[in-house]
A and B are shown apart, each in its own frame.
Chain A
Amino acid sequence: MSEWIEIGDLEDVPRRGARCVGVPGLRLAVFRTQQDQVFAIENRCPHRGGPLSEGIVHGASVTCPLHNWAFDLETGRAQGADAGEVRTFAVRIVAGRIQLALGELMRVAAE
């Protein structure tokens, strides 16, 4: 993992909330939990394409606003009886700033 790109301040994302990140060719959202863990996942529910960034964040999970599928933010896997997965992305916090791995983003966006 070579290059990291800064996308904003940790404080810009509400606790138990999410923000979208605009990357051409990709729907991406960054989530922040109550405990200030940060996750980046594809902002698209595999069920009907719902924007997961608009869902309710609980623990390290999010529930899709359209039909209540819940996903583990860390693994991207659907929980409970539903089967499906969203792509997860590397993300880190450096001095209160959120950083994404640029190479991975470029690669996925180009797919």
Chain B
Amino acid sequence: MPFTHTWLPYIYLYVVGGLLFLVGVIVVVKSGSLDLKKSYHRTWLTVLFFGLIWFMVMHALWNMAALEILSLRSSVILWLIFMIGSLGFGYLKFVRKERS
């Protein structure tokens, strides 16, 4: 498999897309639309970065399974650990915030 089909699209996607994403975050923070003084806006900032990592991890594990760097089973297990871990962590934070 040529590099143009293995990791180049992944790198391009998250370098160019990631730059656009960062510019977006900077623009909305600087404009005051995303107001980091508000607690629920800070939560939104976390969600925004979580979303980027979510897709990066998903694509990376998928790539590794396709290229047989990891077995299909290992990739799925790692993905489930990441998904359950991050969603569980988010839920616990939400519950703690609700209680306080």
A is bound by B: no
**Which residues in A have some Cβ–Cβ distance to B below 8 Å?**
none
